[in-house]
């Protein structure tokens, strides 16, 4: 089934060129089914690339998805045009009375700041609380995963002297989890961050599940069924060349580990994580679909615990 996005969103042409089925808005209203309503709070500087990466994965699932792009209400993006933001993004203050099947919060380039010094921290905390009453299932990525664990469970983050940067192998710790269905025993995940959450800081007795972890780069994926959250510290959504672009943007100062063939930046990287990216998002949407009430008005009445 297709994904429904705005007719003029730049991601549309890219995804259609890749063979992803994208539904026109006029066609979607004629479908006699209820699409899954998923909102994306995009905190990344390059919003167009991020929205394209995530729409690609959401659009590959067998269910119709209606994607709503959301921004922090009073924060002005410096890296994406005002026209793009005005045309395609809604401030959270405008959607806070609506309900969603799924909600995704991306990372943000604020990892070196204490949470409380981030300019939009108060609104993000309000959004996290709002997910408990207006959203069925949520997915947090990178810094947002650290922020959510801090907000809900008091878990701190630790700055790194050297950026965790590269393509690292991870272990599947819970293959029986609905979110890990079909995952290999170990798999590659792109990592790009200046901070981390450590295993010893995860509180016991809160129902938090360590799903995936790397010997070198640490925690990767944590399930929080009591809050309806899945926390991903890394970037399965990345395109093949995203780490290469970050490497060039940062002045080629730190070579991403295990990424370029023979550690040669002149060679084109190979994508070893695409299939697991589709698995994770497919599992997340499937679990959401299997447990969400058909009546959106009932979403958030109680957070249903994942099997």
Could you tell me which residues are annotated as the binding site for substrate? 163, 192, 249
Quick one: 63 exposed, middle or buried, by C-beta within 10 A (0-12, 13-18, 19+)?
middle
The rounded distance, in Å, linking the Cα atoms of 159 and 146 is 12
Q: How many CA atoms lie within 13 A of 125 on its CB side?
A: 13
Catalytic residue among 150, 170, 231, 235: 235
Catalytic residue among 51, 237, 276, 287: 237
Per the annotation, where are the binding residues?
A: 163, 192, 249
Closest of 140, 131, 2 to residue 65, by C-alpha: 2
Residue 235 is a catalytic residue: yes
Quick one: 169 exposed, middle or buried, by C-beta within 10 A (0-12, 13-18, 19+)?
middle
Catalytic residue among 142, 150, 188, 220: 142
Neighbours of 15 (CB within 10 A): 21
Closest of 229, 249, 234, 228 to residue 302, by C-alpha: 228
Residue 142 is a catalytic residue: yes
Residue 188 is a catalytic residue: no
- Which residues share a beta bridge with 230? 139, 223
**Residues classed as catalytic:** 142, 235, 237
């Amino acid at each position: 089934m297709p994904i429904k996005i705005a007719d003029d969103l730049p991601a549309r042409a890219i995804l259609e060129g890749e063979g992803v089925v994208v539904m026109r808005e006029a066609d979607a209203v004629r479908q006699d089914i209820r699409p899954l309503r998923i909102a994306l709070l995009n905190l990344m500087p390059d919003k167009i690339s991020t929205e394209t990466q995530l729409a690609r994965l959401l659009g590959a699932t067998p269910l119709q998805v209606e994607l709503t792009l959301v921004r922090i209400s009073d924060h002005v993006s410096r890296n994406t045009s005002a026209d793009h933001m005005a045309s395609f993004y809604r401030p959270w203050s405008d959607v806070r009375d609506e309900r969603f099947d799924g909600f995704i919060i991306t990372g943000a380039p604020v990892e070196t700041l204490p949470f409380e010094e981030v300019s939009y921290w108060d609104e993000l905390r309000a959004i996290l609380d709002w997910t408990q009453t207006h959203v069925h299932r949520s997915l947090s990525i990178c810094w947002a995963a650290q922020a959510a664990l801090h907000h809900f469970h008091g878990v701190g983050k630790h700055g790194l002297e050297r950026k965790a940067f590269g393509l690292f192998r991870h272990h599947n710790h819970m293959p029986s989890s609905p979110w890990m269905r079909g995952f290999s025993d170990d798999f590659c995940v792109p990592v790009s961050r200046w901070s981390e959450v450590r295993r010893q800081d995860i509180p016991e007795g809160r129902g938090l599940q360590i799903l995936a972890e790397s010997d070198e780069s640490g925690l990767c994926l944590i399930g929080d069924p009591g809050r309806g959250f899945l926390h991903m510290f890394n970037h399965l959504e990345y395109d093949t060349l995203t780490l290469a672009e970050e490497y060039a943007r940062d002045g080629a100062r730190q070579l991403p580990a295990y990424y370029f063939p023979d550690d040669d930046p002149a060679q084109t990287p190979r994508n070893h994580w695409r299939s697991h990216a589709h698995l994770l998002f497919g599992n997340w949407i499937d679990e959401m679909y299997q447990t969400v009430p058909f009546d959106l008005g009932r979403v958030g009445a109680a957070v249903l615990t994942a099997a």
